[in-house]
Amino acid sequence: MKNVLVLCTGNSCRSQMAHGYLKHFAKERATIYSAGIETHGLNQQAVAIMKQDGIDISSHTSNHVDEYAAIDFDFIITVCDHANENCPFIPSENAVRLHQNFKDPSKVEGSEEEVQKTFKTTRNEIKAWCEKFVNDNL
């Protein structure tokens, strides 16, 4: 079984959505972890938009990357430029490191409709990327 770490800045939104989809698509082929270089708590709009697609991430927690220092990862995936540029050293020598920046929907300002549209767009982009990653790598 492969160990996969999804990393973003606050482990509240994008990495949580990716965690949910990777777990969904990988099933028993991988153990999925998500973390941040900071912790911002679970974003409730991310929870809601994932629930609309049948993925429950409501029990996820916001974790700091240092909590997983002892795990040997096969893949480390950064989902935002900030985490990719500021990620601390993770001692998984043989890990394949991948980066895919997704727009942070929690930073969008505007009407509730505009915010929801951005969350849905980001969710769908993450879903497509995660499905391809699992099909290609696990």
Per the annotation, the verdict on 87 as an active-site residue is yes
Q: Pick the catalytic residue from 46, 76, 80, 90.
A: 80
Per the annotation, the verdict on 13 as an active-site residue is no
CA dist., res. 63 & res. 10, Å (int): 8
Per the annotation, the verdict on 130 as an active-site residue is no
For residue 43 the two structure tokens come to 């974003």
Q: Pick the catalytic residue from 17, 50, 57, 87.
A: 87
Q: Pick the catalytic residue from 6, 8, 17, 57.
A: 8
| Spatial contact of 56 and 87, defined as CB atoms under 8 Å apart | no
CA dist., res. 95 & res. 72, Å (int): 8
Q: Which residues are catalytic?
A: 8, 80, 87
